[in-house]
Structure 1
């Protein structure tokens, strides 16, 4: 049964209170300590102490920080909070998927999705932008206009919010529910690479949340100049939102291809730092009935990926209102997968998750946007 906590109030005004320390980078946290009156020579030590409380213990109250003097805690509390952004809506699917609609500022909202039973335990799909500029024709998320980039603090806060809800504090290597992070939510991560890189630094830090870089995957629609830089800066796993094997079709499905065609994309992928059998590229391929799902296109995909350490995620199309596409028949998807498998590539068929709460791939904010529009009209 779908359960929802809807605390949306369109008339609510943000509380212009002190800024939060939750989600800051180490240098930002050090600067915050000095701004609160900590001597420069002690600021790094205090920042390291606060870091541990914020990211290892998930502290929501300065009184928890027992290795920091009381008067210093009181001073920090005058200047800052440990608050997370507001959860506007929390939905739980029949399959255990959880979706959070998060308000970052008035009129600025993003969605984050926790998917159980992915990777070692579960994956958290985070957003890097509010809206998107790419206009991929099969993706409802991509049809929503870009509002702005998220900050590293706002990206890291998505992880903290999910861990709050799943009661995953303090950090432990045992019985974790969130073991993987995927930058596959709203937006194109490589158009916000500085913030994405800083957020990965925060999330991977071993003194805090401690999710390894090899357990973080960044998905791009093909911002070619930024692909090698992503690997150099983050050492994260790379995923490519591909969906077609020729430029004519990909120009239609992924308009960014007109700027960076497939040949250029493949060259950038081959230059990805650390690429190898233990660090394969994931190619995402949404299955669209009668569009890109023929045996000939499966064979073309095999040829395109020749020599690239790869795995292919075949994604049954997730419908949304007035979509121009349909999902391929299951038999067609299995035939496609068999051709790719026989060529030596892993090609798992992704099980659709969270469809009942519009949390599946390509659906983010589709239902919440419709509800917001309805509320504005009423």
Structure 2
């Protein structure tokens, strides 16, 4: 007599259909709650279980529903990145760092440009935070140094991390690099190349890093007994156009050029180099030019730009990591505002500077 076998229990189908958390739990042999904890990167899950759940999710092409996750708990899984900076490469690097870290934890990024000069900037940010629920906010210069912005974020009760702030120490968690020391070392490099008559293009006055970089420059020049005359200092605004204008002021006396120019960011250094080319001044044979940031353009322009490599992507990544670590903690971190991380810089020597 032929025996009829009972059909084997089916595994969840790996198809084009949208998989659910129930499918992942069934395939991994765990509870729905365990799947949720793994997807949210919560602690206290055995590594073996975590691996099993992630393998099941990958096999089923499962992606957590952001709205459902938000409605089911106290988190929105959204991090806000607020900025006001004329350098597109700086903004792109910021976004790259924040997005990279957020993706690791299933978070998304709301990237919002803000006008720091708007008279209602505080009200605008308060309205944004009232409209969209965020698990944290990252503030970049100059927003991170504006009391009205900090007041608005704190009133909304949203945790925040500041990138490279200059004011209100101890008011929030922050991530930074040592702009003063970096500018000091760049100036020392030029001094070591025999330069004494060095021009300097200051950055946007509303950005704290601009003042720190100027301080580092002046400190090194003072120590070398080579403090610059006021005519060797030009005001810029972190843009290519302002670099051009600064170069006009520094090159006003064609018979008495500085031997080197240190621009507070790469965009302005590009403007200086462009003006030098327009006026027939050879870089670096007649004037060495150095910058700050190590943006992609520093390797496109010729001669390639000697500059300080600012780890913008890493700073943004670290800021997002600080917020996500706080969001996933089992209990509120009372000392979160005291958290501080400092990342290293690098002096990158290329062809735009040479010894005199």
Structure having the larger proportion of residues in helix: 2
Greater relative CO (CA pairs within 8 A, separation 6+): 2
- Taking structure 1 as the reference length, the TM-score comes to 0.28
Task: Give TM-score, length-normalised by structure 2.
Answer: 0.29
Which has the larger Rg?
2
Relative to total residues, which structure has the larger strand share, 1 or 2? 1
